[in-house]
Amino acid sequence: ISFTFGNLLLLMALPYFLVVLSELPVALIGGLAGRLAGMDAGNRKAFELILRYFLIGLGVVWLADQIGLNGTAIAAIAGGLSVGLGFGIKEVFSNFVSGLWLLFEGSLRPGDVVLHQGDLCRVNKLGLRAATLKRNGDNAELVVPNQTFFIATTTTYTGSEDLRCATLQVRADYKQDPDRVIALLLDIARSDQRVLSDPAPSASVSNLGPYAVEYGLDYWMSDPTKSAGIASALRRTILRRFREEGIEIPTLPVPPA
């Protein structure tokens, strides 16, 4: 290996340009190829990532040639990397393959809403090692290895469509006409603009409890991340309207001490 000042400068600067500055031209090429080939967002992203790493690989080979790294040395380094791949960076390689598979398959894409550890999260970015999620509750960003979504069951609310159905359970006393309560619940659901009219909301008697009649209000929304806010608004409106209509919500008796 022949190290000169120019080679040393090239060795320090080229990796930065390959890794950082390759993103913009790759995105432009990927966007053009996606439009010409009719790729969806997931396949286009996978194509961009593969192209980017292909260019980085070419740059590394060219750099090795410029600094005088011969074929024997390259083979020795490749052999060492293969051993390391089997031990030290096996998980990195697994996440790399999982990320490509998820992108090509389309089972997880940027913009999807998924349930992760009990929290609704939106996928901000799907990289080759990990997915970046934004948690709906506190807006925190979570970095989750791709292999997690590849080997475990993932609940997604935007896989084939964005619509999501939610149900509210409401109790009312036995003195009330069930048809009246159902009509009131439907009117409350329709009054919220975030509740879709198609599919239309529905309400029914779900159970006859020991102290109250239990009703279920089913409604649809287009943005699953707004589920908690919509449910809270509907509960507040139900409480207010029930008071105005004189409908009591029975409470369970307190057991004797």
Per-residue pLDDT of the chain (257 residues), as tens digits, is 455 655 666 666 666 666 666 677 777 877 787 777 777 666 677 677 777 777 777 777 776 666 666 556 555 555 655 555 555 567 777 887 787 777 777 778 777 888 888 888 888 887 778 889 998 878 889 999 988 888 888 888 776 666 889 999 999 999 999 999 999 999 999 999 999 999 999 999 999 988 899 999 999 998 887 888 999 999 999 999 999 999 999 887 655 55
Q: Where are the alpha helices (DSSP H) in 120-203?
A: 146-151, 178-191
pLDDT at residue 216 in the model? 96
Q: Give the C-alpha separation, 129 to 143, whole Å.
A: 10
- Kindly report the backbone phi and psi dihedral angles of residue 39, in degrees, each rounded to the nearest multiple of 5, phi listed first: -75, 150
Sign of CA dihedral 31, 32, 35, 40: negative
Contact by Cβ (8 Å): 201, 167:
no
Distance CA 24, CA 82 (A): 31
204: helix, coil or strand?
Answer: strand
pTM of the complete model: 0.58
What letter represents residue 247's amino acid?
I
Residue 234 pLDDT: 96
Query: Token pair for residue 110?
Result: 């940027």
Whose CA is closest to 180, among 94, 111, 93, 245? 245
Amino acid code (one letter) for 9: L
Encoded tokens for 108: 């997880």
Please name the helix (run of DSSP H) or strand (run of DSSP E) that holds residue 217, with its range, or none: strand 213-221
| Positive/negative CA dihedral, 49, 55, 60, 61 | positive
Q: What is the pLDDT of residue 129?
A: 80
Handedness of CA 54, 55, 58, 60 (dihedral sign): negative
Q: Which two tokens stand for residue 66?
A: 């410029």
d(CA 29, CA 97): 22
pLDDT at residue number 56: 72
Run of H or E including 42 = helix 41-66
* Helix/strand/coil for 219: strand
- Token look-up 């080997």 returns 151
